[in-house]
Amino acid sequence: MIANNFSNVKLISIPQVIVKTIKEYQDEIIGFVFPIYGYAPPKMVNNFLKKTKFKAEYIFAIETCGGTILSSLYNLQQQALHLGYHIDYVAHLAMVSNYLPKFDINYEIKERLPKKNVKTNLDNIISDIKNFKHNKAEVSNKDRFITFLVKIGSKLVMNGKQAQNYIIDNKCNKCATCIKVCPVYNISFKDNINKEIIFSNKCEYCMACIHLCFENALHLKMRNQQYDD
């Protein structure tokens, strides 16, 4: 939707380009759009921002998340400065809370999403970008401390083996959607005959495979039954 408001826009998928040798992007405007996991960009996004050079007259970053972001925007701008470039505009867009161990997606969509005014907030963000608005994220010491603690906890818990907590039931029709949507190529067929789905140890716990399974055949082992359809 942001891209539709500008001309000559090239949309680039971080999961697709991070495995290539591209090391630099240069344009008049460059924008980053990504979700927030545990008050921070996903590991893949962090690696992309650290390993790639960006040159532009105006750089913006939009973080999407179901709730609060604490010091993530502040940390992002500081990280950019440390890496030698400046993020001129940052914004947070509250969307669906889709972290399955905690949220009931049906409830989030029906009850909470309408109250988040996504379209209005996005229109305001687009207007800001069109007008080349500059801002600087502000953060309290309390938010920095909480973000720091969560970051430490995430490093201890997120070991790449999260997909070992997934269950595939007999509704699976081997369509390979989960394989195609995994951004870190963590899912594959064990062989091309029986097409048994297996998981490696690179999972970043985005749960795209679960959310986008057409047959609802993928589940979390410890998922609360009230979330299942």
* pLDDT, tens only, 66-89: 888 889 999 999 999 999 999 999
User: What b/e string do you get for 20-31 counting C-beta neighbours within 10 Å, with b at 16 or more?
Assistant: eeeeeeeeeebb
The vertex-165 CA angle with 161 and 168, nearest 5°, equals: 120
Count helices and strands in the chain by DSSP H and E runs: 8, 7
Does the pLDDT at position 186 exceed 90? yes
- Residue 37 sits at φ, ψ, to 5 deg, of -115, 115
pLDDT in the model for residue 167: 92
How would residue 113 be classed by pLDDT, with cut points 50, 70 and 90? very high
Kindly report the pTM of this predicted structure. Answer: 0.86
As a whole number of angstroms, the distance between CA 82 and CA 102 comes to: 34
> Could you report the per-residue pLDDT of 138-185, keeping only the tens digit for each?
888 888 888 888 888 787 778 888 898 899 999 999 999 999 999 999
pLDDT at 227: 42
CB neighbourhood size of 93 (10 A): 18
Residue 226 pLDDT exceeds 80: no
Give start and end residues of each alpha helix (H) in the chain: 14-17, 43-51, 72-83, 105-107, 118-130, 141-157, 177-181, 208-211
Cα–Cα distance, 98 to 180 (Å, whole number): 20
The type of residue at 219 is H
What is the chain's mean pLDDT, rounded? 89
Residue range 162-221, CATH number: 3.30.70.20
Residue 91 reports pLDDT greater than 60: yes
On the question of pLDDT at 21 being above 80, the answer is: no
Q: Which residue would you say has higher pLDDT here, 16 or 30?
A: 30
CB atoms within 10 A of CB 18: 16
Q: For residue 224, is pLDDT > 70?
A: no
- Please list, in sequence order, all residues whose beta carbon lies within 8 angstroms of the beta carbon of residue 228, skipping any fewer than 6 positions away: 219
User: Could you please report the per-residue DSSP string of 28-73?
Assistant: EEEEEEEE-SSSS--HHHHHHHHH-EEEEEEEEEEEEESS--TTHH
Look at residues 96, 79, 85 and name the one whose alpha carbon lies nearest to residue 35. 96
Report the interhelical angle of 72-83 vs 141-157 (nearest 10°): 80
Domains in the chain: boundaries: 3-156, 162-221
pLDDT value at position 217? Answer: 94
The average pLDDT across 208-217 equals: 93
- The pLDDT value given to residue 136: 93
pLDDT at 34 over 90: yes
Bigger pLDDT: 111 vs 192: 111
Who wins on pLDDT, 163 or 224?
Answer: 163
